Amino acid sequence: MKILIIGGNGTIGKTVAAHFKENNEIVIAGRNSGDVTVDIADSHSINEMFEKTGKLDAIICIAGEAKWADFKDLTEKDYYIGLKSKLMGQVNLVRIGKDYLNSNGSITLSTGILADDPVVQTASAAMVNGGIHSFVQAAALELENGIRLNVVSSGMV
């Protein structure tokens, strides 16, 4: 299978990439390193990445940021970091990436434990994770060509 791993050089991504490397063709994407560069906060950049990768069997995203800070200090601008990067970045990967997947392909997104077990300073990060969970449950109902959409909610790594 040809698998695109966005964030494949990151803490979690490195292990995931090493696992799939055994029996698959891996394409790693990141802002500063990888086989292709992309900033998932920018949909033009996502389009350019898929033009370079061509058709794929699977897309895995293990990337995306959100601002951590005390609730009293989080500004509107701070919330937009998570909304543009981790939330809409992954929504746009699905929206655009589905057209580059072969039939029965798979898309896997990343969130995290904060969606269900928030701690202080995570109003933005937890909100974004929860939003992605709801998005995946709804969008998975409408994907065509046998394409599967899942999200992995990691614990602390």
Ligand X SMILES: NC(=O)c1ccc[n+]([C@@H]2O[C@H](COP(=O)([O-])OP(=O)(O)OC[C@H]3O[C@@H](n4cnc5c(N)ncnc54)[C@H](OP(=O)(O)O)[C@@H]3O)[C@@H](O)[C@H]2O)c1
Residue 82 as a binder of ligand X (CB under 6 A): the answer is: no
Distance of CA 30 to the CA centre of its chain: 11
Q: Give me the residues paired with residue 82 across strands.
A: none
Q: What is the CA radius of gyration of the chain?
A: 15
In the bound state, the residue with its beta carbon closest to ligand X is: 10
| Per-residue contact string for residues 92-131; x = within reach of ligand X by CB under 6 A | ------------------x-x-------------------
Span interacting with ligand X, options 2-10, 50-58, 74-82, 138-146, rule CB under 6 A: 2-10
Distance of closest approach, residue 146 Cβ to ligand X, in angstroms: 27
In terms of phi and psi (left: phi > 0; alpha: psi -120 to 50; beta: otherwise), the region of 120 is beta
**What gap in Å lies between CA 41 and CA 85, rounded to an integer?**
4
Which of these segments, 52-60, 61-69, 92-100, 139-147, binds ligand X (CB under 6 A)?
A: 61-69
d(CA 59, CA 41): 17
Place of tokens 């790693």: 28
d(CA 54, CA 71): 42
* Token digits of residue 125: 């990060």
- Among the listed residues 134, 137, 145, 154, the single contact to ligand X using CB under 6 A: 154
Q: Which is nearer to ligand X, 32 or 103 (by Cβ)? A: 32
Binding site for ligand X (CB under 6 A): 6-7, 9-13, 30-33, 38-41, 62-65, 85-86, 89, 110, 112, 154, 156-157
